[in-house]
Amino acid sequence: MIRSNFASTRLLVLPYAALLVLYFVVIGGGSAWLWHQVRAAESQLLIDDMMAELEPLAQRLRSGDALSAMRDNEAWLVAEVDKLFANLSALRNMSLRGRQSGYQMLRNGLGAVSSHSVSPLPPDARRASDYRDATIRLHDEDGALFLIRFDLAEPTSSPIQLDFAFDRARLLARVDESMRTIKQSILFFGAAGAFSILVALGITAIAMRTTRRLESHFQGIYQRASLTETAAQLVHDLRNPLAALRANVQALLVSPGETPQIVRELDQGIVNLNDKLSAFLDLTRQRDEAIVPVDVAELVGDAVRLAEPALSKQGLSVETDISPDLPRPVWQKSALRDALLNLILNATQSGQTQGSIRIAARAKQGDLEIAVEDRGRGISKEQMPRLFDAFYTTRKNGNGLGLAIVQRIVAHHQGRVHAENRPDGGARIVLTLPLQRKETPHWWNRLNRRSPA
């Protein structure tokens, strides 16, 4: 089974979690803004309705002797105030004050309008224009009464102020009543949006599960097709050595005097066939060994020791350049050792006859790069595109599987491999391996185990 190289949480959980957070930030912020805007509009409408009732009386008092009218309980004033109490249910009292005297009108327990004296204006009394907007004061102030003030005298004259006191709680209740539909709409559409995202999350999870099953199915088909193609290549590649073996067997009958030489050739041919079949099995087998923390310097040293006979035969040595304090990545140690061994053996057959093969390792942007360099003939333009293809080789005794095995091992570790020519001659093959594997979460692995292969 070919595993996906990404953690499913990054594809499913994290994007939807980010979407939910963004949703609540945007919807929450937008709803709060909308709430305040609509509440301000409703409050302004309420204040405007109240002002429409109060303005005519303020204008009439401004044009006459307002304090005398209030003191004498003039009939027209009592009638006007009584009408205001009837039209404005939240109105509690009306007061008129100057520097020398002050009077207040209100309804008594029998429903009749009466007046009585109150304290005059203090010396530091503010004019109505010094107060904030009434719509803002309605919500920002916390007193039991809400005042609407009119200045009846000119700024250059002795001040006379007309105040209407309203029950703040009743005014706010009227605004809240008007806002009830808006509040319900915000809550409904907010909940509906969150529910829709959760439904989309569920649908996506089901779709991903189905996609995973389809992926497993098609990967199985791909694996079988790939194995069939590889087996066909192996059969084609075995025909020539088998034909040589048959020719040597027939030569035993024709030339019995050359039996020792023919037997040696038969033995070498059988060894070559065994090597090719062993490499083929190594290419196709699934490596299930444990992953463990790996010391990169130790890994390179193990591969070099295994390659020592081939290095000595060619008169070559190995020069290592491994960065100090490298992390210990979690890998399949023996698999990567085999990959490095293949690269070193390839380097010994590169045409280099003296000097050393260089192996360098360094950490780079979350990956670990291991490069194997030789000073041989390099890689031709014709070879480069097919370098990692199974059974592709330009050597007489090569089986063409070494680099294909390297690529498979590196891909199994979620890494990549590439080859290039060195500027001063020879080739460089670089393994780039992630320092941290991107594992799928446990719940996804359990889901995958229930999926058909």
pLDDT digits (tens, 9 = 90+) for 414-427: 899 999 999 988 99
CA distance 389 to 380: 15
Q: What is the pLDDT of residues 194-231, one digit of tens each?
A: 888 788 778 877 877 777 777 777 766 766 666 666 66
Q: Is the pLDDT of residue 428 over 80?
A: yes
Q: What average pLDDT does the segment 53-67 reach? A: 90
CA distance 161 to 135: 20
CA distance 67 to 162: 10
The answer to which of 122-126, 127-131, 280-284, 321-325 has the lowest mean pLDDT is 280-284
Question: Which of 445, 444, 409 lies closest to 429 in space, CA to CA?
Answer: 409
Handedness of CA 86, 89, 90, 92 (dihedral sign): positive
- Segment (H or E) for 102: strand 102-107
**Which tops the pLDDT comparison, 81 or 154?**
81
CA distance 186 to 139: 21
What percent of the chain shows pLDDT beyond 90?
Answer: 23
pLDDT at 440: 46
Q: What average pLDDT does the segment 340-349 reach? A: 88
| Number of neighbouring beta carbons within 10 Å of residue 317 | 13
pLDDT at 204: 77
Given pLDDT bands bounded at 50, 70 and 90, which one contains residue 59?
very high
pLDDT at 280: 61
pLDDT at 330: 87
Q: Is the pLDDT of residue 451 over 50?
A: no
Q: What is the pLDDT of residues 353-382, one digit of tens each?
A: 889 999 999 998 889 999 999 998 888 888
Q: What average pLDDT does the segment 229-250 reach? A: 64
pLDDT at 48: 92
Residues 6+ apart with CB under 8 A from 171: 46, 90, 138, 146
Q: Is 433 within 8 Å of 370 (Cβ atoms)? A: yes
Handedness of CA 109, 115, 116, 119 (dihedral sign): positive
pLDDT at 443: 42
pLDDT at 310: 86
pLDDT at 236: 53
Given pLDDT bands bounded at 50, 70 and 90, which one contains residue 11?
low
Q: Is the pLDDT of residue 53 over 90?
A: yes
In degrees to the nearest 10, what's the CA dihedral of 71, 76, 78, 79? Answer: 180
The answer to which of 8-17, 26-35, 48-57 has the lowest mean pLDDT is 8-17
| Number of neighbouring beta carbons within 10 Å of residue 127 | 12
**Which tops the pLDDT comparison, 247 or 153?**
153
Q: Is the pLDDT of residue 441 over 60?
A: no
| pTM score of the predicted model | 0.45
Q: Is the pLDDT of residue 92 over 60?
A: yes
The answer to which of 118-122, 403-407, 424-428 has the lowest mean pLDDT is 403-407
Given pLDDT bands bounded at 50, 70 and 90, which one contains residue 240?
low
**Which tops the pLDDT comparison, 329 or 190?**
329
Q: Is the pLDDT of residue 331 over 90?
A: no
For all residues of the chain together, what is the average pLDDT?
81
Structure tokens at 82: 């009584």
Of 95-104, 253-262, 342-351, which has the strongest mean pLDDT? 95-104
**Which tops the pLDDT comparison, 426 or 401?**
426
Q: What is the pLDDT of residues 164-202, one digit of tens each?
A: 999 999 999 999 888 888 888 888 888 888 888 788 778
Q: What average pLDDT does the segment 26-51 reach? A: 88
| Number of neighbouring beta carbons within 10 Å of residue 238 | 14
Q: Three-state SS for 199?
A: helix
Distance between terminal CA atoms of the chain?
Answer: 8
Given pLDDT bands bounded at 50, 70 and 90, which one contains residue 2?
very low
Q: Is the pLDDT of residue 99 over 50?
A: yes
Structure tokens at 417: 């491999």
pLDDT at 438: 65
**Which tops the pLDDT comparison, 349 or 3?**
349
Q: Is the pLDDT of residue 287 over 60?
A: no
Structure tokens at 28: 């929450």
Q: What average pLDDT does the segment 59-67 reach? A: 88
